[in-house]
């Protein structure tokens, strides 16, 4: 997890220590898009093999959501965004993920690890292929509640997996289940990363 600009940088760099496995690739992709990206204000919640400091991360996500700070969640990041929203907007106080907590699982474990290039479609039915590596996903039993309160599903995947969620009234609050950094290159940067940096830059 990371933010930039002043005090946010200090908060988020502390939380990155155990997430270098994913963040190194993400950082490289951002540099290829815009070398000045660390000078912009925004929040990044990358994937993680070793979830830790969950409650602190949820506090920071809540702060970003409530204060209009551009926020991008990737894989585990989307899942944390869902947990935070469920607790503080849906008022499911024990909302959590099956990966790290006991309570109401708004994020559930899949039957098997989901790895590789998978099909993703938007609400218009347009399809694309994205890179995945995850064993947990948004619990579809809560999708209706999320959407009624404005956290909208904008991308679906195979087997009805939630692939993307956003708050349209927010300057940029978007989480994806896939890893855009894995398919982003200098010659062909991923649109999700490009759009996030553009909003942060403004």
Q: Which residues are catalytic?
A: 75, 179, 181
Q: Which of 88, 110, 101, 91 is nearest to 160 (CA)?
A: 110
Cβ proximity of 113 and 93 under 8 Å: no
Query: Exposed, middle or buried: residue 187 (CB in 10 Å: 0-12, 13-18, 19+)?
Result: exposed
Q: Rounded to whole angstroms, how far apart are CA atoms 141 and 22?
A: 29
Q: Which H/E stretch holds residue 82?
A: helix 76-88
Cβ proximity of 137 and 128 under 8 Å: no
């Amino acid at each position: 997890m990371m933010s930039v600009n002043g005090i946010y940088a200090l908060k988020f760099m502390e939380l990155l220590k155990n997430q270098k496995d994913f963040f190194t690739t993400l950082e490289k992709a951002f540099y290829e898009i815009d070398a000045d990206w660390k000078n912009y204000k925004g929040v990044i919640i990358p994937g993680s093999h070793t979830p830790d400091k969950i409650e602190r991360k949820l506090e920071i996500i809540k702060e970003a959501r409530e204060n209009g700070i551009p926020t991008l969640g990737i894989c585990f990041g989307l899942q944390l965004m869902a947990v935070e929203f469920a607790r503080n907007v849906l008022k499911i106080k024990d909302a959590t993920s099956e990966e790290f907590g006991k309570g109401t699982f708004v994020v559930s474990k899949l039957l098997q690890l989901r790895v590789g290039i998978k099909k993703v479609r938007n609400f218009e039915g347009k399809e694309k292929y994205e890179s995945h590596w995850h064993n947990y996903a948004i619990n579809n039993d809560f999708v209706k509640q999320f959407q009624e309160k404005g956290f909208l599903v904008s991308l679906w995947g195979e087997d009805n997996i939630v692939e993307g969620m956003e708050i349209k009234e927010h300057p940029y609050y978007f989480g994806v289940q896939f890893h855009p950094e894995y398919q982003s290159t200098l010659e062909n940067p991923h649109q999700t990363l490009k759009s996030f940096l553009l909003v942060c830059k403004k």
